[in-house]
Chains A and B, each alone.
Chain A
């Protein structure tokens, strides 16, 4: 039925270098509300290597989009970055001034936003919007390109995302959803960033267009040897695209692993259930969901937030122990806690309780 050839455009573990492009350390993004503090991202730590495709997965409300916005320093009140670091090639982004950050956006780190349809200026031609981004974020001391140079650059960018040159003269409303997403990608890569954050880039698109867009994103990433953070909820898409997968639950990472390990041998109950809940087309069988609901992030009690939904046996006392994200084998990190990890005893020596 499926004639997929393994690893054609999405080569698993291909050009990943050892050089760390972005290191996120204990990052916290909180929203202050009249009823208390919502800890949308609560102490996230991970590294992104140059050339790596890192997928950040979670259900709605897990904090994945909040993290994407925080990395771009685009968090809006009542949200604020409450602590931690995001080190991009040696520079801590969290400590930068607004003006310094503006120069990093697009030239070093770019965002391909969720729902490109709403992020393009409706009264500006596509070509001018791309040019605008380039002019606004030119690196320090770079020469302003001439009109002809700019036209060629826009043409080249459109070509790289698979659009004809005439698209430059169109307005956003004249484009289909897939084309708008391509324009957003053209803007994203216009200054050859080393990190691209793609926040649900295909959430509103049909599956065939989605496939085309993801494959285009993959090619662009390979061409630039950029690191990509793909933020999403579709585990299928993640399996198709990513080298490494991080699964978020209630503002925290519960497991980070190479894509094969994550899909074949997840250790934490949440990713395991998430993968089991994907319906297949091989045979008809009873679909399973994950019982229970995500907890409210407002005044979340300490301990393992997933414990109330976990199918494993544990005591109430176990659930109150704060899980620790521990590297159980090279590149495979798990938030170890008795309520959520089946083989906990096997790894218990890695954490300092019991």
Chain B
């Protein structure tokens, strides 16, 4: 059986045009990955701003097409899907977005967001059928229908709003849920509940979850595999425990080391060098991790199910000699 989704060396380039080759941004560079339907996993795409994870999300949802490379849905080239197949794809791959409040129309009761997809995709045969589906979906995400239905969005908590969005996605019986920073706008005390309900969907309904985030700690907690993106490239990927506990790429190492640990006895080490994200004229300077636009990507399998981008730059957090990157803060300030 062909995989549900397959990306082969997918590249997305923004800007440019044939008279303006210099002004191109390679948002995603030759990314490949596969989602098998028979092994539903939680896959994290992790990266900071500008890493290309949003572009990746939009390609996976089919809302933008890759510039180069191939994308397959159930073995069929994405560009050659029939209208029916595309509709099927839209049912099977469901997004959940960052800010649940922005996904609601404040003048409609929350019932509206749950009824709309049922109506659009003609999923229910009667009103009773529809109501039964809604109640079932709410129970799946741990919400009480009598505490949520009939209310306006502002009358619910952020956690409830986000879980209703998960329930909405569930109505369509998707095979894949793409969750784009689902917890970045909610307080720590609610984060666990939402991630918990996402995990339940994977374990109990066999839905593949693609979790897109900048937060490696929650990624570590909920996912099976992880892809670390940096400036459009997947620099390291594989089993989440192997990647997080034994990071090989210098960028992954710096990223993990920069996460503020809630332990006053384990404070950050000395100042880190500037990365591309915090410098002027980034294009002019050599990237300290050797990630130049459009580089070839090849991966070394450093241990079972753990791959790292091959690179000519020294690893283990060392900045290569002769790099023009400057320290973020001059000494003696």
Contacts and interface: CB of A to CB of B under 8 A. Distances in A.
Interface of A: 1-10, 12, 59-60, 159-162, 164, 166-167, 170, 176-179, 206-212, 214-216, 219-220, 223, 233-240, 242, 259-260, 263, 273-275, 277-281, 284-290, 293
A343 to B, nearest CB: 22
Contacts of A278: 188, 217, 262
Nearest to A164: B280
Contacts of B272: 208, 211-212
B221 A5 contact: no
Interface in B212-240: 214, 216-218, 220-222
B32 interface: no
Interface string B72-96: 0000000000000000000000000
A81 B244 CA distance: 48
Interface stretch (B251-259, B292-300, B304-312): B251-259
A288 B278 CA distance: 34
A215 B265 CA distance: 16
A273 B187 CA distance: 13
Interface string B246-271: 11000000111111111111111111
Contact of A287 (B221, B255, B271): B221
A12 B265 CA distance: 9
Interface stretch (B22-30, B97-105, B130-138, B325-333): B325-333
B319 interface: no
12 contacts: A2-B256, A2-B257, A2-B261, A9-B270, A59-B187, A60-B187, A209-B275, A211-B272, A240-B260, A240-B264, A281-B216, A289-B192
A319 B17 CA distance: 67
Contacts of B195: 287
Interface in B117-168: 157
A211 B258 contact: yes
Contacts of A60: 187
A256 B274 CA distance: 35
B189 A240 contact: no
Contact of A210 (B220, B258, B261, B264): B258
Given A239-B263, A287-B192, A279 B280 contact: no
Contact of A239 (B196, B262, B274, B278): B262
Given A1-B244, A176-B277, A219-B329, 20 more contacts: A4-B257, A6-B265, A8-B267, A9-B270, A59-B188, A178-B278, A179-B278, A207-B214, A210-B260, A211-B260, A214-B260, A236-B259, A236-B261, A239-B267, A281-B244, A286-B196, A287-B191, A289-B188, A290-B189, A293-B157
A178 B272 CA distance: 14
Tell me the interface secondary structure of chain B in the complex. Answer: loop
A207 B255 contact: yes
Given A12-B264, A162-B330, A216-B329, A208 B256 contact: no
Nearest to A288: B192
Contacts of B327: 162
B330 A240 contact: no
Contacts of A208: 48, 254-255, 258, 272, 275, 277-278
B67 interface: no
Given A5-B267, A6-B267, A215-B271, A289 B191 contact: yes
B221 A223 contact: no
The winner among B214, B244, B271 for most chain A CB atoms within 10 A is B271
A212 B269 contact: no
Contact of A289 (B193, B217, B265, B277): B193
Given A210-B258, A216-B329, A287-B195, A280 B217 contact: yes
Given A4-B261, A164-B280, A178-B278, A233 B188 contact: yes
Nearest 5 A-B pairs (CB), nearest first? Answer: A236-B260, A290-B189, A289-B192, A206-B48, A162-B329
A3 B271 contact: no
B245 A1 contact: yes
B188 A263 contact: no
B277 A209 contact: yes
A167 B326 CA distance: 15
Nearest to B157: A293
Interface string B182-216: 00000111111101100000000000000000101
Contacts of B217: 278-281
Given A279-B220, A279-B221, A4 B268 contact: yes
Nearest to A262: B264
A263 B269 contact: no
Nearest to B266: A4
B285 interface: no
B324 interface: no
Given A208-B254, A212-B272, A219 B267 contact: no
A162 B267 contact: no
B45 to A, nearest CB: 15
A207 B259 contact: yes
A239 B191 CA distance: 20
B262 A236 contact: yes
A170 to B, nearest CB: 8
Contacts of A210: 258, 260
B49 interface: yes
Contacts of A275: 262
Given A263-B262, A281-B216, A289-B193, A8 B254 contact: no
Contacts of B192: 277, 279, 287-289
